[in-house]
Structure 1
Amino acid sequence: MVSIRTVAPALLLLLAGCVSGPDPKPPEMPLPAKFSEGNLKANGDVATSQWWARFNDKRLNGFVDAGLAQNVSILQAIEQTNAAAGDVTVAGAGGLPALNVGASHTTSGELGSQRTQHGSLNTSAGDVNVSWLLDLWGQYRRAREGALAELDAAYANVDVQRLAYLQDLVTSYINARFFQARIAIAQENLKSRRETLELTKFQLDAGAASRLDVVQAEGLVNSTIAEVPGLEISLRQQVHHIATLLSVSSASVMSEIQNNTGQPVFRGSVATGVPADLIRNRPDIRQAERNLANATSQIGVAQAQLYPTITLGGDISPSYIHASGGRKGGLTTWSFGPTLTLPIFDGGRLRAGVDIANSNAKTQYFIWKQTVLTAIQQVEDALSAVSRDAQTVSAFQAEVKSYQEALQLSTASYKDGASSLLDVLDAQRSVTDAQESLAQAVQQSASDYVLLNVAIGAGYVPASPKAAVAAGSPSTAAKAPVVKVSDKKAN
């Protein structure tokens, strides 16, 4: 005959291994084998890639390094991981034994002519309470499992904020340099147009030009002067935004920007890898996958509430009484026993909780899937642009060169009286338009390069170990299971 002392521990151990609800599994979806304009070569870990350094701009490099360590949005995300770590402890605490100890001391007596002869009474008491809810169905284990997934999602969010910071800062820097280039173009053209105005006035004095020619030349000078303040406003707005990202004064950023180094120009190519690489390298996809894991764990939490619970509890309350009349003594009360709670009728609340948890998990799966699809589109769009931007820049460079030559020829012809002022003014406008188009093409090329690197999830981890420590502890999301995908083309 088997002893109850042998069976009971084994039964408790078996029940302790029961966990309600489905286990979180890596989500799956079909993915194309490669990007439409990419190749089949996979990327490695691009998290530490300092892609902005390929602009060869020391000021930009300094801004990026400073911002990764002190950007407010990144620091907020790091602080949120501390709260998420606390949630892990809170989530699992319900399944652990709880011990509460209390003590008290009271003095009582009577006043007045009708008082008894007992005098004062001193009572010292203590209380020790122990309770342990047996987590037979894994409610708290699932809750802690979900909280760990939520912690991983919080760490992934830090990386999301770093990527967003990189895109915002580098793009703002590119825009600031673009407006600087536009201002330089306007000032250069203003000088040329003033020279044309002086030449026209000289021609008027010599009888070779009319007053109309002078007025037209003056109008072109004034329109160029009017253009500069708007460009300076746009430049300062970009500088102010950079200062906000860096948490420094705009004056210090302006002093750095005023040392003009020209527009950032990228030359070369970007290894985009294959769509499956995005599952590992994109922090927003990892965050969505961890949110899905958390939602899946909550199904088990909701299901466990449908089943009975057993709580082991005990209480010991010793007390000691001492009266002023010499009477004294102690008393200790105690109790111990299990409590069974079985949900019978709740109006469907617990069943509805399970349905809600299932629906939330499905929603998180669709969010993850949409995040993956959006990431693929972002890479496709940026890759298409980067592969063609160089052709656009080259064409505008040739256009500027042609129109500058045309301006030289028309100006020389005007001085000789062989052409009209209108030819010169048209040539100047053409040069200005071509120069502005070239500056904008360079700006767009640099911005597309930024978008492509952000789209593949590159550069969000500080390359320096000291910077990484300053920015926060290593992400546990890196230890999350790799998401499985079908390596085949989607329909």
Structure 2
Amino acid sequence: MVDTVNHGPTHMSTSTLRYRRWPPAFALCLAALLSACAAPAPEPPDVSATVDAGFRHAPDLVASVDTTWWRGFGDEALIALVERAQAVNHDVRIAQQRVRQARAGQTAAASRLGPTVSLTGSASDERSGLPDRVKQGKPDTRAYRGALELGWELDLFGAVRAGADAAELDALSADDAVDVARWMVSSEVARQYIVWQGARLRLAKLEALLKAQVDTERLTRSREAAGLASRFDVARAAGEVQSLAAQLPPLRTFAAVTETHLAVLVGANPNQPLRELEESAPPALPKPPSLSAGQPVDLLMRRPDLRVAQQQLLAEAARLRVAHADRWPKFFLAAVLGRQDLRLNALDLTPVGYSSAALAFTMPLFDAGRLRAAVERQSAQERMATLQFEKAVLGAIKDVDDSLVALSQDRDRLTALAASVEQRRTGLRHAESLHREGQIDLLQLLDAQRAVLASELSALDGQTQLALSTVQLATAVGGGWPSTQGAGPASPVASRTTPLPSPESESQP
């Protein structure tokens, strides 16, 4: 008895199937030899020659960006928030689940490289009421069968290997996507924390000035009662008090909204205060460290979004190999090794073993251009992935150059603002002295106070922006996780370089 199993695809066009009895051991050896002919994958693209040796606006080199750049700010609350977000942020956890999904797909795709073995069994009992004379030609039958069945697609032209490579690269891309999520959440937590501290400092400054203005209003009313000030002076002082008071609610709202945003980033309940944000602690901006951008080619090893784009490019190249290989014949091996116990009428036969091996192939002859169109479509997809990778590299270099310019200009702006604050404070001291001597009125004194307030708030904004620009540079250069020591995926996929032959002489797009 010979059982055959056809594992060929049903979607193929005109096909030719041939079977021949071969010993199972010989068929398995032949399968191993044919599978060894699978075509290998291309190497990852090398774009290091297309980038410059340095950044256009890079200053003199100082400390390079650390993998834990947020620690350079020296703020324990910021450090705790970033590291907490990297562990429990929902975007990070979603990316980790995508890794599980991609790895499962990789396992499924790689399983096609080997044979499928299954155990089958059956029991049948066929009886009829025919006369014994008739049963000689159609006997009553009772049969018990058990067998091992093997099915294997022999990857002669590399379609299965290319599919497994693509799935492996998808898994590597998913791994790097976790780094992308951590990279983005680290930057956003640092940015929101700096903005929150800046809002608290601005609020504290306005509250202190409001208290001083209330004292000024009270003093002005006393001077009016003594005939030393006019009602205009009182109204002017009271108006300054209300103007300052009107600036407080928006700042309190902004600080509260920023705090709830931080809570969401670290995966906490926004209704509960964050333990890292102690309201009793005095507001203070973290001191930004000095950073350098390194070299443009370093971005290929540091930025996870570039690694994701590279893995996606290699995966599309592997799928292009699948499309090419689909135009070639496919070979399938089927084998059965079993044993059966048979009874005919009242005669019990001795249990016997049986085996079967078959080799089949299917080859497309006519498909109205469907397979050729699949190659063209995947070729365009691979080319788009290449262009996306090149665009990502150029965008990363632009991000660093823009961040360097912003950081340099913010430093210059803060220096000028600090000098302006000193000059305004000197002017206020002179105005207060002149007002006590009666040489200027209250209106001029209030103008001097407003000038100091405006310059101090501008300086505070400058300090906040400098810290934000430092975070922007650290993010642009890809700080925040252990960098790999070489561009491209650390995978055996990248080391296979033999090209796949084309079934037609004409070139493909």
* 1:56 maps to which of 57, 74, 81: 74
How far apart in 1 are the matches of 2:382 and 2:62? Answer: 31
Which residue of the partner structure matches residue 259 of structure 2?
239
How far apart in 2 are the matches of 1:164 and 1:347? Answer: 48
Which residue of the partner structure matches residue 190 of structure 1?
210
Please list, as runs of the form range in 1=range in 2, the aligned pairs for 1:315-394 lying within 5 A after superposition: 315-316=336-337, 318-320=339-341, 328-329=348-349, 335-394=356-415
1:428 aligns to 2:442 (yes or no): no
Q: Is the 8 A contact 2:194 2:467 kept in 1?
A: yes
* 1:24 maps to which of 4, 23, 43: 43
Choose 418-427 or 370-379, whichever is displaced more.
Answer: 418-427
Which residue of the partner structure matches residue 188 of structure 2?
168
How far apart in 2 are the matches of 1:313 and 1:166? Answer: 54
CA deviation after TM superposition for structure 1 residue 244, in Å: 1.1
Q: Is the 8 A contact 1:152 1:477 kept in 2?
A: no
Which residue of the partner structure matches residue 119 of structure 2?
101
CA deviation after TM superposition for structure 1 residue 413, in Å: 2.8
Choose 159-168 or 201-210, whichever is displaced more.
Answer: 201-210
Q: Is the 8 A contact 2:69 2:480 kept in 1?
A: yes
Please list, as runs of the form range in 1=range in 2, the aligned pairs for 1:79-478 lying within 5 A after superposition: 79-105=97-123, 124-250=144-270, 251-253=272-274, 256-266=277-287, 269-316=290-337, 318-320=339-341, 328-329=348-349, 335-461=356-482
CA deviation after TM superposition for structure 1 residue 435, in Å: 1.6
CA distance change for structure 1 residues 482 and 346 in 2, over 3 Å: closer, same or farther? closer
CA deviation after TM superposition for structure 1 residue 402, in Å: 2.3
How far apart in 1 are the matches of 2:298 and 2:62? Answer: 7
Q: Is the 8 A contact 2:63 2:290 kept in 1?
A: no
Equivalent position amino acid for 2:407 in 1? V
How far apart in 2 are the matches of 1:16 and 1:184? Answer: 73
Q: Is the 8 A contact 2:431 2:440 kept in 1?
A: yes
Equivalent position amino acid for 2:472 in 1? L
Choose 58-67 or 296-305, whichever is displaced more.
Answer: 58-67
Equivalent position amino acid for 1:101 in 2? L
Length-normalised TM-score, structure 1: 0.84
Secondary structure at 2:268 match in 1: coil
CA deviation after TM superposition for structure 1 residue 71, in Å: 1.9
CA distance change for structure 1 residues 395 and 222 in 2, over 3 Å: closer, same or farther? same
CA deviation after TM superposition for structure 1 residue 248, in Å: 2.2
CA distance change for structure 1 residues 115 and 231 in 2, over 3 Å: closer, same or farther? farther
Q: Is the 8 A contact 1:42 1:277 kept in 2?
A: no
Map Cα deviations across residues 333-392 of structure 1 (whole Å, 9 max, x no partner). Answer: 654311120111112111111111111111111111111101101110111122232222
Equivalent position amino acid for 2:44 in 1? K
Question: Unaligned 5+ residue runs, structure 1?
Answer: 463-473, 484-491
Choose 235-244 or 412-421, whichever is displaced more.
Answer: 412-421
How far apart in 2 are the matches of 1:339 and 1:16? Answer: 15
Identity of aligned residues (%): 27
Secondary structure at 1:315 match in 2: strand
* 2:85 maps to which of 62, 67, 70: 67
How far apart in 2 are the matches of 1:62 and 1:475? Answer: 30
How far apart in 2 are the matches of 1:478 and 1:333? Answer: 48
CA distance change for structure 1 residues 158 and 22 in 2, over 3 Å: closer, same or farther? closer
Equivalent position amino acid for 2:116 in 1? A
How far apart in 2 are the matches of 1:202 and 1:482? Answer: 85
Choose 74-83 or 431-440, whichever is displaced more.
Answer: 74-83
CA distance change for structure 1 residues 165 and 482 in 2, over 3 Å: closer, same or farther? farther
Equivalent position amino acid for 1:273 in 2? G
The structure that is helix-richer by fraction is 1
Which residue of the partner structure matches residue 469 of structure 1?
none
How far apart in 2 are the matches of 1:282 and 1:30? Answer: 17
CA distance change for structure 1 residues 255 and 332 in 2, over 3 Å: closer, same or farther? closer
Secondary structure at 1:253 match in 2: coil
CA distance change for structure 1 residues 407 and 195 in 2, over 3 Å: closer, same or farther? farther
Equivalent position amino acid for 1:394 in 2? T
CA distance change for structure 1 residues 449 and 122 in 2, over 3 Å: closer, same or farther? same
Choose 326-335 or 92-101, whichever is displaced more.
Answer: 326-335
Q: Is the 8 A contact 2:27 2:333 kept in 1?
A: no
How far apart in 2 are the matches of 1:26 and 1:33? Answer: 18
Secondary structure at 2:273 match in 1: helix
CA deviation after TM superposition for structure 1 residue 212, in Å: 2.3
Aligned residues between the structures? 461
How far apart in 2 are the matches of 1:367 and 1:144? Answer: 23
CA deviation after TM superposition for structure 1 residue 83, in Å: 2.0
Length-normalised TM-score, structure 2: 0.81
RMSD: 3.6
CA deviation after TM superposition for structure 1 residue 137, in Å: 0.1
Choose 399-408 or 129-138, whichever is displaced more.
Answer: 399-408
Map Cα deviations across residues 129-178 of structure 1 (whole Å, 9 max, x no partner). Answer: 22111110011111112222222211111111111011000001001001
Map Cα deviations across residues 27-71 of structure 1 (whole Å, 9 max, x no partner). Answer: 435111111122797998x6x632222221111111122222222
CA deviation after TM superposition for structure 1 residue 275, in Å: 0.7
Question: Unaligned 5+ residue runs, structure 2?
Answer: 1-22, 495-509
Map Cα deviations across residues 215-241 of structure 1 (whole Å, 9 max, x no partner). Answer: 221121112112111111110111111
How far apart in 1 are the matches of 2:487 and 2:105? Answer: 15
Q: Is the 8 A contact 1:21 1:303 kept in 2?
A: no
Equivalent position amino acid for 1:449 in 2? T
CA distance change for structure 1 residues 12 and 305 in 2, over 3 Å: closer, same or farther? same
Q: Is the 8 A contact 1:152 1:475 kept in 2?
A: no
* 1:479 maps to which of 468, 483, 490: 490
Choose 227-236 or 20-29, whichever is displaced more.
Answer: 20-29
How far apart in 2 are the matches of 1:129 and 1:361? Answer: 39
Secondary structure at 1:258 match in 2: coil
Secondary structure at 2:277 match in 1: helix
